[in-house]
Structure 1
Amino acid sequence: MTLPDGVPRHDFDGTTSIATKGHPEYGEATDGEWRRWDPHRSKLGAMLALGMDTGLEGGQKTLYLGAAAGTTVSHVADFGGPTYAVEFAPRPTRDLLDVADHRENLFPLLKDARKPETYAHVVEPVDVIVQDVATRGQARVAALNRQFLDDGGRLLAAVKARSEDVTADPEDVFDEVVAELQESYEVLETEQLAPYHEDHLGVVARPLE
Structure 2
Amino acid sequence: MTVSDGSPSLPAGVERHAFDGTERLATRGDPVYGEPTDGPWRAWNPHRSKLGAMLELEMATGLEGGETVLYLGAASGTTASHVADFAGPTYAVEFAARPARDLLEAAESRPRLFPLLKDARKPETYAHVVESGVDVIVQDVATRGQARVALENSRFLADDGRLLLAVKARSEDVTRDPAAVFEDVQSELESGYEVLETRKLEAYHADHLGVVARPR
Check whether TM > 0.5: yes
Question: What SS does structure 2 have at the residue aligned with 1:173?
Answer: helix
- Cα distance in 2 for residues equivalent to 1:170 and 1:203: 14
1:189 correspondence with 2:197: yes
Q: Which amino acid letter does the alignment assign opposite residue 194 of structure 1?
A: E
Q: Which amino acid letter does the alignment assign opposite residue 7 of structure 1?
A: V
Shift of 1:11: 1.0
Q: Give the alignment of 1:33-182 within 5 angstroms.
A: 33-125=40-132, 126-182=134-190
Question: What SS does structure 2 have at the residue aligned with 1:108?
Answer: strand
Deviation string 1:5-64 (CA, Å, 9 cap, x unpaired) is 111111112100111000000011110000000000000000000110100111100000
Shift of 1:136: 0.2
Deviation string 1:89-134 (CA, Å, 9 cap, x unpaired) is 0000011000000100100000000000000000012100000000
Q: Which amino acid letter does the alignment assign opposite residue 183 of structure 2?
A: D
Shift of 1:195: 1.3
Q: Give the alignment of 1:190-205 within 5 angstroms.
A: 190-205=198-213
Q: Which amino acid letter does the alignment assign opposite residue 179 of structure 2?
A: E
Q: Which amino acid letter does the alignment assign opposite residue 38 of structure 2?
A: D
Q: Which amino acid letter does the alignment assign opposite residue 3 of structure 1?
A: L
Q: Pick the aligned partner of 2:29 from 16, 22, 26.
A: 22
Q: Which ranges in structure 2 are unaligned for 5 or more consecutive residues?
A: 1-7
Q: Which amino acid letter does the alignment assign opposite residue 184 of structure 1?
A: G
- Cα distance in 2 for residues equivalent to 1:198 and 1:38: 15
Percent of counterpart pairs with the same letter? 73
Q: Which ranges in structure 1 are unaligned for 5 or more consecutive residues?
A: none
Partner residue, 2:39? 32
- Cα distance in 1 for residues equivalent to 2:204 and 2:36: 17
